[in-house]
Chains A and B, each alone.
Chain A
Amino acid sequence: MDRDIQIGSKETSDEYTALTPRQLMWKKFLKHRVGVVATCIIIILYITIIFAEFFAPYDKTTTNMDYLSAPPCRVRLFDSEGRFHIRPFVYRRTGARDPKTLRFVYKDNVNKKDFIKLFVHGDEYKLFGLLNSDVHFFGVEEGTVFLLGTDERGRDLLSRMIFGGRISLSIGVIGVAIIVFLGSLIGTISGYYGGWIDNVIQRLIEILRTIPQIALWMALAAALPPTLPSTYVYLGIVIILGLIGWTGLAREVRGKVLAIRGSDFVYAAEVAGASSSRIIFKHLIPNISSHIIVTATLSIPVMIIGESSLSFLGLGIKPPMTSWGLLLNQVREVQVLKHFPWLLLPALFIVVSVLCFNFMGDALRDVIDPYSK
């Protein structure tokens, strides 16, 4: 007879039985190359914004009158004579107003090279309100390095984007925390107790879902008093996002609870005399927790987009705080787009972070709950 074709996985059955479900899920997750890459990008993003003061070359409010609306500076390795420098550098620029268009034009001064160095001293800051420092991740000792250009007040866009990211990304996480809390609680109660409680909650969800979420967000955000200080606005926005966003998760949780409510192990617990809250917290929720994690991860992009939309419209985050959406608020006119297109870059960050969260959530869902698709 012919030989067996070498088929299948090389691992023996012994290896499989030794892995716990958690380890199996981890391995499966790692196989999703896209999901893994996305997760790495997200981790990098969050580390950057947590230590925003360190990573950003400038403070978010530092204005620079010499460089208003400057385009991104070009980082070079070869100078005008063709010599190679290991350290990247930028030419110092001088700005002047073009007499015809009345706009600023910037020219490189090839005689002055500013080398980009790591861990330079720059603006002072207070990390987490405790540590005093002035070391920045990168920068130039003299001159300026505006990797992504400046806005009309001469503020470095990259720095503002990093600080803005802090708001945008943190709102995503905190908003989702609210959603997870509200959604899981309400969904579980609805599914577990059934009856009129379930009916009332279902009606409520239906009402909230009929109106477009963005419209509700806008209406509630507009209801915030205009005189409210920036931090309270932040809190308000987060709460608003969470307050309207829990309905999706609640419906999913309710579905899952209904599915396992009839299971024998729940019945056994009830027969054994366990109290409702014990059944809910010790039996139901652990079983659906992985599903909740997936839905939560996929809800973060919704929060980020929601906050960006609100801030873009001027209904969200207020100065001196800044977020990616708020940074885009300045690009609303076509003329601005035409002459200062680099101001559109925060949009790229929004898209990238949302994309990564979506990929990550999709990979997680494949790993944890492959049948829910």
Chain B
Amino acid sequence: MTQKEGLSKAIMQSSNRLIEVDNLRVQFHIPQGIVRAVDGVSFDINRGQSLGVVGESGCGKSVTALALMLLHPQPEAKIATGKIVYHRQEPPPVEITSLDIYGKDIRDIRGKEIAMIFQEPMTSLSPVYTIGQQIVEAIRLHQDLDKKQARDLATEMLDQVKISAPKQRVDEYPHQLSGGMRQRAMIALALSCKPSLLIADEPTTALDVTIEAQILALIKELQRKFGMSLMIITHDLGVVGEMADEVIVMYVGKIVEKASTKELFDNPLHPYTRALFRSLPKIGDRQRLQSIPGSVPSPYQLPRGCSFQGRCEEMLDECREKAPPPCHVDGDHLVYCWRYYKTAESSG
């Protein structure tokens, strides 16, 4: 791509930009020490786009998502540095990181413009209120509707998420619904105020495979219908392939690779990403599953240099010394790995 083409593309994208995250660092202050859960993460989400965030447990993907809504656990977690900018329909954009965590500004954004659904539908809904009451609570918080209108809207949302007999379900308690229905109810709740961004944190991990397919299809359909952006967090590459336009791969608080989904699947570059793909079982393949040797480093004793060292089969000397910078390979494909630093340099 020429510089000119790249520039015009950048300009076009910036008007389309919904969320900009710039060098975000979130640290947990606990008695045992400081844990750098999110360690210098930068990415963007455009309008109408789906971003997939892949990584194993503990890599910081959930904390990143929570930070977008300033929901990182208090009082332990603090945003140490970095900026999160949210572009509304009308300017000016809001710098989320500068808002008061308990203040009105962020509360106006939560639920109304950015919404989130969580992993465990079992425990994500309060057991002592009906799902109707819980959805109505969100609706009346952000929209000026009376009780009846809100209730009707809630019932309609339940219908949108394809829950059968919504008029009855709206007065039922969460424990009366199955796991799949609970997750649908959660989605109804999240979308009730038509947010611009839906964050889905491992929405199907706790569900059966068949239900998983249905829920993912539902999310995709609603995303198109409401013109939302989607940030889907998962450890499952299959989900990513299904749902995301663009993917970032995280490892121990950092992004190691960023690319469009097609590009990532066709040409995974980072050794960690490659290892993830290799560890997937393939139908017809009778070989042993390949696991990644070694284990994730202790969050209290992160090594100097690249965090993947010791488990990487393609290590160089620099890997032990310094953390790798982002290397652009082939347009929008970004990799944080020393191996590609030289190649990127040499390709100019």
Closest CB-CB distance, A10 to chain B, in whole Å?
10
Q: Are B298 and A13 neighbours in the complex by a CB distance under 8 Å? A: yes
B32 adjacent to chain A (CB < 8 Å): yes
Q: Is the interface of A mostly helix, strand, loop or mixed?
A: loop
Contact of A8 with B298 in the complex, beta carbons under 8 Å: yes
Q: Is the CB of A9 within 8 A of B33?
A: yes
Q: Is B34 an interface residue (CB 8 A)?
A: yes
Rounded to whole angstroms, the CA-CA distance of A7 and B297 in the bound complex is 13
With both chains docked as a complex, state the minimum distance between the C-beta of A188 and any C-beta of chain B, in angstroms.
Answer: 33
Q: Is B102 in the interface zone, CB < 8 Å from A?
A: no
- Chain A residues near B301 (CB-CB < 8 A): 7-8
CA distance A13 to B295 in the complex (A): 14
Report yes or no: A5 in contact with B34, Cβ–Cβ below 8 A. yes
Chain A CB within 8 A of B35 CB? yes
Interface residue from B300, B302, B323 paired with A9 (Cβ < 8 Å): B300
Any A CB within 8 A of the CB of B262: no
Bound form: Cα–Cα A101–B35 in Å:
72
Q: Report the separation of the CA atoms of residues A70 and B304 in the bound assembly, to the nearest whole angstrom.
A: 74
List of 7 A-B pairs having minimum Cβ-Cβ separation, nearest first: A8-B300, A8-B33, A7-B33, A1-B323, A7-B34, A7-B300, A1-B322
Task: Identify the A interface with B (CB < 8 A).
Answer: 1, 4-5, 7-9, 13
Please tell me if the beta carbons of A4 and B302 are within 8 angstroms of each other in the complex. Answer: yes
User: What mask results when residues 29 to 67 of chain B are scored 1 for a CB within 8 Å of chain A, else 0?
Assistant: 000111110000000000000000000000000000000
In the complex, chain A residues whose CB is within 8 Å of the CB of B299: 8
Contact residues in A for B298 (Cβ distance below 8 Å): 8, 13
Q: Can you name 17 extra interface pairs (CB under 8 A) apart from A1-B323, A8-B298?
A: A1-B322, A4-B302, A5-B34, A5-B36, A7-B33, A7-B34, A7-B35, A7-B36, A7-B300, A7-B301, A7-B302, A8-B32, A8-B34, A8-B299, A8-B300, A9-B300, A13-B298
- Complex Cα distance A5/B33, Å? 10
Tell me if B300 and A4 are in contact (CB < 8 A): no
Q: Which residues in chain B, 42-101, are within 8 Å of chain A measured between CB atoms?
A: none
CB <8 Å contact, A4 and B34 = no
**Of all chain B residues, which has the CB nearest A13?**
B298
A-B residue pairs in contact (CB < 8 Å), sample of 23:
A1-B322, A1-B323, A4-B302, A4-B304, A5-B34, A5-B36, A7-B33, A7-B34, A7-B35, A7-B36, A7-B300, A7-B301, A7-B302, A8-B32, A8-B33, A8-B34, A8-B298, A8-B299, A8-B301, A9-B32, A9-B33, A9-B300, A13-B298
List B contacts of A1 (CB < 8 A).
Answer: 322-323
| A7 vs B37: C-alpha distance when bound (angstroms) | 13
Query: What residues of chain B lie closer than 8 Å to A8, measured between beta carbons?
Result: 32-34, 298-301
CB distance from A63 to the nearest CB of B (A): 57
Nearest A residue (CB) for B322: A1
Q: Which residue of B lies closest to A1 (CB)?
A: B323
Give CA–CA (A366, B256) in the complex, Å: 40
CB distance from B301 to the nearest CB of A (A): 6
In the bound complex, CA of A9 to CA of B31 (Å): 10
Chain A: CB-nearest residue to B306: A1
| Distance in angstroms between the alpha carbons of A8 and B27 in the assembled complex | 13
Contact residues in B for A4 (Cβ distance below 8 Å): 302, 304
In chain B, positions 276-319 with a C-beta closer than 8 Å to chain A are: 298-302, 304
Measured between beta carbons, the chain B residues less than 8 angstroms from A7 are 33-36, 300-302
A5 to B304, CA, bound (A): 11
Bound: A1/B302 CA distance, A: 13
Name the CB-closest residue of B to A12. B301
Residues in A whose Cβ lies below 8 Å from that of B36: 5, 7
CB closest residue in chain A, given B324: A1
Report the minimum CB–CB distance from A240 to chain B (whole Å): 43
Chain A residues positioned under 8 Å from B300 (CB to CB): 7-9
CB-CB under 8 A from B34, the residues of chain A are: 5, 7-8
Task: Name the residue on A nearest B304 (C-beta).
Answer: A4
- B300 — nearest CB in chain A belongs to which residue? A8
Chain A hits for B323, CB < 8 A: 1
Measured in the bound complex, the distance between the Cα atoms of B146 and A368 in whole Å is: 53
A355 vs chain B, min Cβ distance (A): 25
CB distance from B77 to the nearest CB of A (A): 15
Query: Which of chain B's residues 323-348 have a Cβ closer than 8 Å to chain A?
Result: 323
Output the least CB separation between B254 and chain A (Å): 10
CA distance A86 to B35 in the complex (A): 55
Cβ-closest chain B residue relative to A7: B33
A364 to B34, alpha carbons, bound, how many Å? 27
Q: With the chains together, A4 CA to B323 CA distance in Å?
A: 11
CB-contacts of B1-53 with A (<8 A) = 32-36
Inside 8 A of B302's CB, which chain A residues have their CB? Answer: 4, 7
Q: How far is the CB of B35 from chain A (nearest CB, A)?
A: 7
CA distance A5 to B323 in the complex (A): 14
| Distance in Å: Cβ of A325 to nearest Cβ of chain B | 42
Q: A1, A5, A13 — which one has the most chain B CB atoms within 10 A of its CB?
A: A1
Complex: A186 Cα to B286 Cα, angstroms: 55
A7 vs B31: C-alpha distance when bound (angstroms): 10
Closest Cβ of chain A: how far from B144's Cβ, in Å?
44
Across-interface contacts of A13 in B (CB, < 8 A): 298
Closest CB-CB distance, B3 to chain A, in whole Å?
28
**CB-defined contacts of A9 to chain B, threshold 8 Å:** 32-33, 300
What residues of A have a CB within 8 angstroms of the CB of B32 in the complex? Answer: 8-9
- Taking CB atoms, residues of chain B closer than 8 Å to A5 are 34, 36
A24 to chain B, nearest CB (A): 15
Nearest Cβ on chain B to A363's Cβ, whole angstroms: 16
Distance to closest chain A CB from B274 (angstroms)? 23
